[in-house]
Chain A
């Protein structure tokens, strides 16, 4: 193990280290802790210039209550869910298929198609913006959740294919050969043999895509407007204009908007990290 395990170092070093880690963590999360503190302060603290002293009262329920009851925040949150979940299902389904095709079969152009997916996944969004907006408007899907979902599915298929294909490549190929010898139809091989083995990959991708899509902002402002269809990342600006300069409410709103992906991460941590770091080790 590198660096040298702390247990093998002198006692003093161990104690220093154990004290240093939490300290470093607090420094690391300082901006976030600041916002969390803002979000429980009363308005009067801001008018009185008491930004960093002890809060004059604890207003957690008042502030967060306002976010949920007096703003469009719940609608934006619901929109985010209604955009994110179908995208996750769509992108994962499509990429299970593409990943299977590219990972199992050898045919001319296999690598070319694979690289096309990878390259597309890396392009800057702006090169797609004008045509995609145009296409969405022409289909009558501007300012609808469906318009966003379709684009997200398409774009995420690039990354998901890369992921799935590499995952399938690492599966024991003998299983598939054995099945073929027994005359099992190809689609049955996919459904009954490969798909069950892909469960961990599907879980990892689902968590990752959920986070990516939940956090998308650019496409939200290009393809939607207003609380009918906009997800919470875009809605937060209009939330902030409703409560402008009221830092306690804006902070509470931001924390609420960030919560679902954070919860998702802490609940599904193993899958999340497995997904992100695929390829970091060979």
Chain B
């Protein structure tokens, strides 16, 4: 959606959030047009992004904000085109290694100066995820925990409790299967959901540090430790723990299985919660637990960070800078990450974590129980090309576990080529 928001200023004058926005003077000297391309295309994030653009537009009378919202999956193949062919000022992307290709090819602007100037006070703890080669290439606006979201009511019905170890997890699953349900819903059409399973199984089997070594290409895919991870995974697959035909569904299309109670749990990010609530599940029916322990290693967690970047071809740099400052400010962070918004964790230490069952649990887990370390996610920690080939292999493994040898051989071949 692209629109100029001037027309709606009157309607927005009542937006109370405006008053609290950090550093926003009514006599702003920003002018021209600020072009933003956002991939926040799901309904709740979309509404948030539209309101951010509208608010920012209203705060700066001489500036008009042009917002274009593109499909989140499609954006992954469009971003390079957008940055090189017709660069906007500000765009959405992901932290860590996933930024690599755009940093290397000079498509993201180095904004280390802005960080150094203290534009982003309160973001010190997340600065690392935005840093490549000692420079900062963007700002985060949200992050969220991953974990197992499950149907509390069905667990109670079957007399199950939250498992702490993999043995308990499997025992639970067996009971669920005996009750004629599936243990896990997953939609692996766009591959990355399978990456989440691998991340957790590998971090629990071999530890966080090993997982990072694998991501950095220091360990062979044919290593026995990697095989062990897949062996653990295979236990679940052979039990028939996953829903059938998951390779045909997107993650959203796999939600109804949980909503209807055909599957009892879903390993996914916290962004799924608003969808589950929208579908009619109450907080009594859904709950969350940390992925259980497998080997005796510290618990590593996935907590992907979503980001804003300035294109190196941006034309309205002043406005872009002010916008990044705006979205990372404590008040805006509190608001957009609240349960009415993204329902996720704010990146600014001075923002408040919403009083919401899942957000609180996630915050606690990440700050206290993630003793091993915090990973971004499979497709952000591994170099992009490796991630893409890798996730294709993971999906294939979930459907045809017998192909493991072939898959590992292929991934190893790719590893040797990609990391050089």
Contacts and interface: CB of A to CB of B under 8 A. Distances in A.
Q: Do chains A and B touch in the complex (CB under 8 A)?
A: yes
A226 B70 contact: yes
Contacts of B81: 225
Interface stretch (A113-121, A151-159, A199-207, A238-246): A238-246
A244 B78 CA distance: 19
Contacts of A242: 41-43, 46
Contact of B2 (A226, A244, A245): A226
A137 interface: yes
A237 interface: yes
A143 B85 contact: yes
B250 A245 contact: yes
Given A241-B73, A242-B46, A226 B259 contact: no
Contacts of A240: 71
Given A142-B85, A245-B250, A47 B1 contact: no
B82 interface: yes
Interface in B63-84: 68-74, 78, 81-82, 84
Contact of B85 (A47, A49, A137, A237): A137
A72 B260 contact: no
Contacts of A47: 256, 259-260, 279-280
B252 interface: yes
Contacts of B74: 237-238, 241
A228 B68 contact: yes
A227 interface: yes
Contacts of A225: 37, 70, 78, 81-82, 86
Contacts of B71: 237-238, 240-241
B41 A241 contact: yes
- Most chain B beta carbons < 10 A, residue from A227, A241, A242: A241
B46 A49 contact: no
A238 B82 CA distance: 16
Nearest to A136: B85
Interface in B81-120: 81-82, 84-86
B167 interface: no
Contacts, number: 60
A98 B1 CA distance: 41
Interface residues of B, number: 29
Given A245-B252, A245-B253, A142 B86 contact: yes
A226 B35 CA distance: 12
Which DSSP category, helix, strand, loop or mixed, fits chain B's interface? mixed
Contacts of A238: 41, 69-71, 74
Given A242-B43, A244-B252, A49 B260 contact: yes
A237 B75 CA distance: 11
A226 B36 CA distance: 11
Contact of B37 (A72, A142, A226): A226
Contacts of B85: 133, 137, 142-143
Contacts of A143: 82, 85-86
B404 to A, nearest CB: 31
B255 interface: yes
Interface string B177-212: 000000000000000000000000000000000000
Contacts of B253: 244-245
A281 B2 CA distance: 50
Interface in A223-275: 225-228, 237-238, 240-242, 244-245
A241 B72 CA distance: 8
Nearest to B70: A226
Interface in A51-107: 72
Contacts of A72: 1
A110 B253 CA distance: 57
A228 B37 CA distance: 11
Contacts of A227: 1-2, 68
A147 B37 CA distance: 20
B21 to A, nearest CB: 27
Contacts of B279: 47
The 3 lowest CB-CB distance pairs between A and B, nearest first, are A241-B71, A142-B85, A238-B71
Interface of A: 46-47, 49, 72, 133, 137, 142-143, 225-228, 237-238, 240-242, 244-245
16 contacts: A47-B260, A225-B70, A227-B2, A228-B2, A228-B68, A237-B74, A238-B41, A241-B71, A241-B72, A241-B74, A242-B42, A244-B252, A244-B253, A245-B253, A245-B255, A245-B256
Given A46-B256, A245-B255, 5 more contacts: A225-B81, A238-B70, A241-B41, A241-B74, A245-B250
